[in-house]
């Protein structure tokens, strides 16, 4: 197993009666791109805020780079966390913000930051409060990428960006990752287009970790089984059914879990239709209540 | 230590800019009044001290900057210890700058009052008979340390409690003002008066230095409060 | 080489297949170098580990091998190796579906054989 960069043990955080995180345990390894997926309010942002000491947990531990991460001046500078919320000084120019950022991350690459500003057409002379929502996201992307921090975290990095710009981001992310490997954690709603970028997906539901697996495994282990209701029920017995639908006399089941090729052939031979489940739908089924 | 210095650099620009703007506005108003005096000598006399106006400015600036500074520096992966340490260093530098500017303001008054009878050269020389220039600088410096830290602590409380704090603070301030105007006579007034005189070293030998010491102690206490407020403060967007 | 992100087939399998197809067609010669997994990742906008997994499959089947410090190369005899492999699964992948479909629409075996020998010239 590769070196563990970030680990949480039994993190629990409540807001009033609501448990935002419930005994949360997760491990992130060195030099991998992770997708952090979950519905609104599932606990993604709470998790990210706690692991980077922006807020404090009620109980549990966070370890990063082998040390207790809480308020740790040795460890925090190795983590660049660009959150969803707007936090820069409004009256500062983009140029100044980037310059200051450069002073706080040991591996910050100013030349790369300049290149990214050009690629994204980010006007460095604009004041932060004059930027549109999209460009605010772009600034966070530029700083996060150029920081070259060994652990770089993005919370909803592509909010407000059109498809073309999102594409630039994914391209830059992969390219920089291949040339300068580091651990990326990216929290996003846009699963369909980003699933292939991630090596592993981590799915959060109601403050709990429900799945941590390679993205291909997610896809390989999900199937739609459809056909006559009785046949489908018989076939699905003993399998992990995560969703069912009926249209007239046709029943469709989504099953999740490792199914052998023989079993699949068996099901097809029984006259059932087996088809893949789109990642977006799979995510919805897994996180449904 | 590097990181603390970078945090100071981050704030320095804002502090410098606002100080320049404030000083410019002060000078414009100062010379506007001087121009009016050239036209007509009014009855009575007045004192225009830089430091009096600067007190308000010294309180407001850190109060207004606290939230953005805290959020932005935390965004750049700094610990609360580092952020607070940098705020304290900025306070020291800012206070020193304002102290020097205040002394220059006093010198300006000295020059102007030779020309205009309606201007008083200094209020401080009247309070502290035997004050020397170094003592004056120290007095200004510790005064601003205290006031800037009040501003910082205000900013920190505001960050923690938001609107509720603002309501309490200014509401309480208003109540205090009312109370003090009601108590213009009586035992309480005398007691408060004497305490204030003691605190400010009024008409004591070496009074300015005692006052500076008292300012400094209050500043240290406020600094500790600032530290404690930030220690476990979760980030508010 | 193109990837179908909406396909049932995993990306890494598609990569392996695409490389095999290029070798079969002669687009990639034996003993020539493959693009690196990093290059593939950037071109297709996929995680390099996925590209690596696809290439890894080919290494396991000895179609491709690694030259230390240089990169991945197509093995000698890779073309033959692929053809052999594909023959084995030809029936499952193509013939059985063909037979099933022909059966469902009522095409007899003889008609089927005629179609194949005539190359589909008169199947109106």
Nearest chain C Cα to A176, which residue? C42
C117 and chain A: CB distance < 8 Å anywhere? no
Q: Is the pLDDT of residue A260 over 90?
A: no
- pLDDT for residue C122: 56
Nearest to C41 among A178, A215, A275 (CB): A178
List the CATH number of the domain containing C35: 1.10.10.10
Tell me how far apart the alpha carbons of residues A106 and B176 are, in angstroms, rounded to a whole number. 50
Which chains contact B through at least 3 pairs of Cβ atoms less than 8 Å apart?
A
Q: Are residues C93 and C62 in the same domain?
A: no
- pLDDT for residue A128: 94
Inter-chain CB proximity C45 and A278 less than 8 Å: no
Q: Which two tokens stand for residue B168?
A: 């309490």
- Which 8-state DSSP code applies to residue B119? B
Q: Are residues C28 and C43 in the same domain?
A: yes
Mean pLDDT value of segment A14-36: 95
Distance of alpha carbon A274 from its chain centroid, rounded? 29
Tell me how far apart the alpha carbons of residues A185 and B80 are, in angstroms, rounded to a whole number. 24
Closest CA to A178 of C11, C16, C47, C35: C47
Write the CA distances from A96 to A101, A113, A122, C42, integer angstroms: 8, 12, 13, 31
Inter-chain CB proximity C48 and A220 less than 8 Å: no
Mean pLDDT value of segment C82-100: 84
- Most A CBs within 10 A among C5, C13, C45, hence the mutation to make, goes to C45
> To the nearest whole number, what is the mean pLDDT of chain B?
89
Q: Is the pLDDT of residue C120 over 60?
A: no
Closest CA to B67 of A80, A137, A89: A89
Dihedral angle computed from the Cα positions of residues B114, B120, B123 and B127, in that order, rounded to the nearest 10 degrees: 80
Closest CA to A178 of C41, C26, C9, B71: C41
B17 and chain A: CB distance < 8 Å anywhere? no
Measured at the CA of B229, the angle between CA A41 and CA B223, to 5 degrees, comes to: 155
Asked if residue C21 belongs to a domain, the reply is yes
Strand arrangement, sheet containing A151-155: A79-82, A151-155, A183-187, A33-38, A200-205, A208-214
Distance of alpha carbon B127 from its chain centroid, rounded? 18
Nearest to C42 among A167, A171, A276 (CB): A171
Measured at the CA of A211, the angle between CA A250 and CA A224, to 5 degrees, comes to: 15
Inter-chain CB proximity B81 and A73 less than 8 Å: yes
Q: Which two tokens stand for residue A72?
A: 């740790």
Kindly report the nearest CA distance between residue A233 and chain C, in angstroms: 23
Inter-chain CB proximity C11 and A33 less than 8 Å: no
Nearest chain A Cα to C41, which residue? A174
Q: What is the ipTM of this complex?
A: 0.91
How many domains does one find in chain C?
Answer: 2
Specify burial of residue A124 (Cβ count, 10 A radius: 0-12, 13-18, 19+).
Answer: middle
Q: Are residues C24 and C72 in the same domain?
A: yes
Q: Is the pLDDT of residue A248 over 70?
A: yes
- pLDDT for residue C123: 54
Inter-chain CB proximity C47 and A175 less than 8 Å: no
- pLDDT for residue A20: 94
Strand arrangement, sheet containing A4-15: A18-29, A4-15, A59-64, A67-68
Nearest chain C Cα to A274, which residue? C8
- pLDDT for residue B176: 85
Tell me how far apart the alpha carbons of residues B166 and A288 are, in angstroms, rounded to a whole number. 43
Measured at the CA of C108, the angle between CA C105 and CA C114, to 5 degrees, comes to: 115
Inter-chain CB proximity B75 and A103 less than 8 Å: no
Q: Are residues C66 and C95 in the same domain?
A: no
Q: Which residues of chain A are within 8 Å of residue C8 when distances are taken between CB atoms?
A: 275-276
C6 and chain A: CB distance < 8 Å anywhere? yes
- pLDDT for residue A176: 97
Write the CA distances from A186 to A31, A41, C18, integer angstroms: 13, 16, 29
Inter-chain CB proximity A174 and C7 less than 8 Å: no
Q: Are residues B201 and A49 in contact, defined by beta-carbon separation less than 8 angstroms?
A: no
Distance of alpha carbon B123 from its chain centroid, rounded? 16
Q: Is the pLDDT of residue A7 over 60?
A: yes
Q: Are residues C72 and C23 in the same domain?
A: yes
C108: CB partners within 8 A, 6+ apart: none
Kindly report the nearest CA distance between residue A2 and chain B, in angstroms: 25
- Which 8-state DSSP code applies to residue A129? G
What are the tens digits of pLDDT across the range B173-202? 898 888 877 766 677 778 888 888 888 888
Give me the domain span that covers residue C43.
Answer: 11-76
Mean pLDDT value of segment A6-16: 95
Nearest chain B Cα to A143, which residue? B76
Inter-chain CB proximity C45 and A167 less than 8 Å: yes
Kindly report the nearest CA distance between residue A214 and chain C, in angstroms: 10
Measured at the CA of A173, the angle between CA A168 and CA A174, to 5 degrees, comes to: 105
Q: Is the pLDDT of residue A44 over 70?
A: yes
Which chains contact A through at least 3 pairs of Cβ atoms less than 8 Å apart?
B, C
| C106 φ, ψ (degrees, to nearest 5) | 80, 25
Nearest to A216 among C12, C41, C42 (CB): C12
pTM here is: 0.90
Asked if residue C124 belongs to a domain, the reply is no
Q: Are residues C35 and C71 in the same domain?
A: yes
Kindly report the nearest CA distance between residue A103 and chain C, in angstroms: 30
Domain boundary among C58, C76, C94: C76
Inter-chain CB proximity C12 and A196 less than 8 Å: no
Q: Are residues B47 and B109 in contact, defined by beta-carbon separation less than 8 angstroms?
A: yes
What are the tens digits of pLDDT across the range C16-54? 999 999 999 988 888 999 999 999 999 889 999 999 999
Q: Are residues C113 and C57 in the same domain?
A: no
Q: Are residues C91 and C33 in contact, defined by beta-carbon separation less than 8 angstroms?
A: no
- pLDDT for residue C99: 85
Ordered domains of chain A (ranges, CATH): 4-214 (3.40.50.300), 221-286 (3.30.70.2020)
Q: Which residues of chain A are within 8 Å of residue C50 when distances are taken between CB atoms?
A: 196, 199, 215-216
Tell me how far apart the alpha carbons of residues A231 and A250 are, in angstroms, rounded to a whole number. 10
The answer to which of A107-111, A213-217, A261-265, C55-59 has the lowest mean pLDDT is A261-265
Q: Are residues C38 and C94 in the same domain?
A: no
Q: Which residues of chain A are within 8 Å of residue C47 when distances are taken between CB atoms?
A: 33, 174, 196-199, 215
Q: Is the pLDDT of residue C124 over 60?
A: no
Kindly report the nearest CA distance between residue A161 and chain B, in angstroms: 22
Asked if residue C60 belongs to a domain, the reply is yes
Tell me how far apart the alpha carbons of residues A96 and A115 are, in angstroms, rounded to a whole number. 16
If one counts every other C-beta atom within 10 angstroms of the C-beta of residue A156, the result is 19
Q: Which helix (H) or strand (E) holds A4?
A: strand A4-15
Q: Are residues C71 and C98 in the same domain?
A: no
Write the CA distances from A171 to A119, A162, A254, C38, integer angstroms: 11, 14, 32, 12
Q: Are residues C71 and C38 in the same domain?
A: yes
- pLDDT for residue A263: 84
Q: Are residues C16 and C71 in the same domain?
A: yes
Dihedral angle computed from the Cα positions of residues A134, A135, A136 and A139, in that order, rounded to the nearest 10 degrees: 130
Assign residue A201 a region (left: φ > 0; alpha: ψ between -120 and 50; beta: otherwise). Answer: beta
Q: With an 8 Å CB cutoff and a minimum of 3 pairs, decide whether chains B and C touch.
A: no
- pLDDT for residue A192: 84
> Bridge-partner residues for A62, per DSSP?
A8
A108: CB partners within 8 A, 6+ apart: A101, A102, A146, A147, A148
Tell me how far apart the alpha carbons of residues B19 and B54 are, in angstroms, rounded to a whole number. 9
Kindly report the nearest CA distance between residue A105 and chain B, in angstroms: 8
Q: Which two tokens stand for residue B164?
A: 């509720």
> How many Cβ contacts (< 8 angstroms) between chains A and C?
47
Q: Which residues of chain A are within 8 Å of residue C56 when distances are taken between CB atoms?
A: none
Nearest chain A Cα to C12, which residue? A216
3-state secondary structure of A162: coil
Asked if residue C4 belongs to a domain, the reply is no
Could you give the angle at which helices C37-44 and A163-179 cross, rounded to 10 degrees?
170
Nearest chain B Cα to A103, which residue? B6
b/e B64-79 (16+ beta carbons within 10 angstroms → b): bbbbbbbbbbbbbbbb
Inter-chain CB proximity C11 and A167 less than 8 Å: no
Nearest to B82 among A73, A83, A90 (CB): A73
Q: Are residues A183 and A258 in contact, defined by beta-carbon separation less than 8 angstroms?
A: no
Q: Are residues B14 and B21 in contact, defined by beta-carbon separation less than 8 angstroms?
A: no
Tell me how far apart the alpha carbons of residues A69 and B118 are, in angstroms, rounded to a whole number. 64
> To the nearest whole number, what is the mean pLDDT of chain A?
92
Q: Which residues of chain B are within 8 Å of residue A71 when distances are taken between CB atoms?
A: 79-81
The answer to which of A35-39, A50-54, B63-67, B113-117 has the lowest mean pLDDT is B113-117
Ordered mean pLDDT values, 10 residues apiece, chain B (237 residues): 93 94 94 82 76 94 95 96 97 97 90 78 78 90 97 95 88 86 74 86 83 95 97 89
What are the tens digits of pLDDT across the range A216-234? 888 889 999 988 888 888 8
Residue located via tokens 């005629």: C114
Inter-chain CB proximity A89 and B78 less than 8 Å: no
Kindly report the nearest CA distance between residue B101 and chain A, in angstroms: 26
Q: Which residue has the higher pLDDT, B120 or A150?
A: A150
Mean pLDDT value of segment A130-135: 93
């Amino acid at each position: 197993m590769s070196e563990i960069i970030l680990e949480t043990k039994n993190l629990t955080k409540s807001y009033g009666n609501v448990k935002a995180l419930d005994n949360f345990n997760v491990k992130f390894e060195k030099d991998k791109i992770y997708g952090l997926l979950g519905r609104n309010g599932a606990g993604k942002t709470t998790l990210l805020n706690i692991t980077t000491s922006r807020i404090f947990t009620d109980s549990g531990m966070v370890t990063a780079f082998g040390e207790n991460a809480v308020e740790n001046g040795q460890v925090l500078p190795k983590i660049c966390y660009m959150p969803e919320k707007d936090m820069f000084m409004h009256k500062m120019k983009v140029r100044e913000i980037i310059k200051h950022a450069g002073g706080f991350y040991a591996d910050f690459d100013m030349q790369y930051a300049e290149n990214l500003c050009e690629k994204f057409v980010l006007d460095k002379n604009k004041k932060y409060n004059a930027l549109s929502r999209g460009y605010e996201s772009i600034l966070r992307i530029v700083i996060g990428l150029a920081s070259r921090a060994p652990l770089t975290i993005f919370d909803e990095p592509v909010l407000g960006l059109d498809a073309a710009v999102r594409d630039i981001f994914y391209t830059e992310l992969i390219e920089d990752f291949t040339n300068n490997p580091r651990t990326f954690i990216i929290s996003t709603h846009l699963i369909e287009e980003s699933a292939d970028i991630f090596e592993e997906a981590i799915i959060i539901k109601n403050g709990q970790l429900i799945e941590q697996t390679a993205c291909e495994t997610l896809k390989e282990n999900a199937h739609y089984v459809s056909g006559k209701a009785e046949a489908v029920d018989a076939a699905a017995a003993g399998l992990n059914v995560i969703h069912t639908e009926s249209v007239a006399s046709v029943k469709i089941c989504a099953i999740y879990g490792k199914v052998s090729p023989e079993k699949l052939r068996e099901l097809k031979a029984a006259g059932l239709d087996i088809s893949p489940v789109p990642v977006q739908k799979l995510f919805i089924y897994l996180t449904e209540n | 230590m590097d990181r603390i210095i970078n945090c100071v650099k981050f704030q320095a620009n804002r502090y410098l800019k606002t100080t320049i703007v404030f000083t410019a506005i002060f000078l414009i108003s100062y010379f506007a009044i001087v121009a009016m005096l050239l036209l007509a000598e009014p009855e009575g006399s007045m004192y225009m001290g830089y430091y009096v106006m600067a007190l308000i400015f010294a309180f407001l600036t850190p109060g207004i900057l606290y939230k953005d500074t805290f959020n932005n520096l935390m965004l750049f992966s700094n610990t609360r210890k580092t952020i607070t340490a940098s705020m304290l260093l900025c306070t020291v530098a800012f206070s020193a700058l304002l102290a020097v500017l205040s002394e220059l303001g006093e010198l300006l008054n000295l020059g102007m009052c030779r020309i205009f009878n309606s201007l008083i050269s200094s209020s401080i020389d009247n309070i502290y008979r035997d004050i020397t220039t170094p003592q004056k600088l120290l007095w200004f410096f510790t005064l601003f340390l205290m006031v800037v830290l009040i501003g910082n602590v205000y900013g920190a409380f505001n960050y923690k409690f938001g609107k509720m704090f603002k309501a309490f603070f200014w509401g309480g301030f208003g109540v205090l003002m009312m109370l003090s105007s009601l108590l213009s006579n009586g035992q309480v007034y005398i007691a408060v008066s004497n305490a204030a005189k003691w605190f400010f070293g009024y008409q004591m030998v070496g009074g300015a230095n005692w006052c500076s010491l008292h300012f400094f102690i209050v500043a240290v206490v406020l600094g500790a409060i600032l530290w404690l407020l930030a220690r476990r403060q979760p980030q508010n967007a | 080489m193109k990837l179908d992100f909406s396909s049932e087939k995993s990306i890494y399998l598609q990569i392996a297949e695409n490389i095999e197809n290029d070798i079969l067609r002669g687009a990639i010669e034996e003993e020539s170098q493959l693009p690196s997994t990093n290059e593939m990742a950037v071109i297709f906008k996929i995680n390099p580990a996925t590209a690596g997994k696809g290439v890894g499959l080919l290494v396991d089947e000895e179609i491709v091998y690694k030259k230390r410090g240089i990169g991945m190369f197509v093995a000698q005899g890779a073309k033959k190796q692929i053809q052999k492999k594909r023959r084995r699964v030809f029936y499952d992948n193509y013939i059985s579906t063909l037979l099933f479909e022909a059966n469902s629409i009522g095409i007899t075996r003889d008609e089927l054989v005629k179609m194949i020998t005539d190359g589909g010239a008169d199947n109106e």
